[in-house]
Amino acid sequence: MKERLIFIAVIGGSDVSPPVETLAEEVGREIARHGAVLVCGGLSGVMEAACRGADGEGGLTVGILPGDNRLSANPYVKIPIATGIGYARNAAVAKSAQAVIAIDGSYGTLTEIAYALQGGIPVIGLDTWSISINDREDTSIIRASSPKEAVESAVELIKDRQSEGE
Closer to a copy of itself by CB, 103 or 151: give it. 103
Binding mask 66-105 for a copy of itself (x = CB under 8 A): --xxxx------xxxxxxxxxxxxxxx--xx-x-----xx
Backbone angles phi, psi at 134, to 5 degrees: 50, 50
Q: Tell me which residue of 124, 119, 103 sits closest to 46, measured CA to CA.
A: 103
Q: Tell me which residue of 67, 65, 121, 125 sits closest to 95, measured CA to CA.
A: 121
CB neighbours of 111 closer than 8 A, spacing ≥ 6? 87, 90, 91
CB neighbours of 146 closer than 8 A, spacing ≥ 6? 126
Does 131 bind a copy of itself (CB under 8 A)? Our answer is yes
Q: Which residue among 14, 33, 34, 129 contacts a copy of itself (CB under 8 A)?
A: 129
CB 46 within 8 A of CB 103: yes
Number of residues that bind a copy of itself (CB under 8 A): 50
Smallest distance, a copy of itself to C-beta of residue 126, A: 11
Smallest distance, a copy of itself to C-beta of residue 91, A: 5
CB 112 within 8 A of CB 92: no
Binding positions for a copy of itself, 25-54, rule CB under 8 A? 37
Contact set with a copy of itself (CB under 8 A): 5, 7, 37, 62, 64, 68-71, 78-92, 95-96, 98, 104-108, 110-111, 113-115, 117-119, 127-135, 166
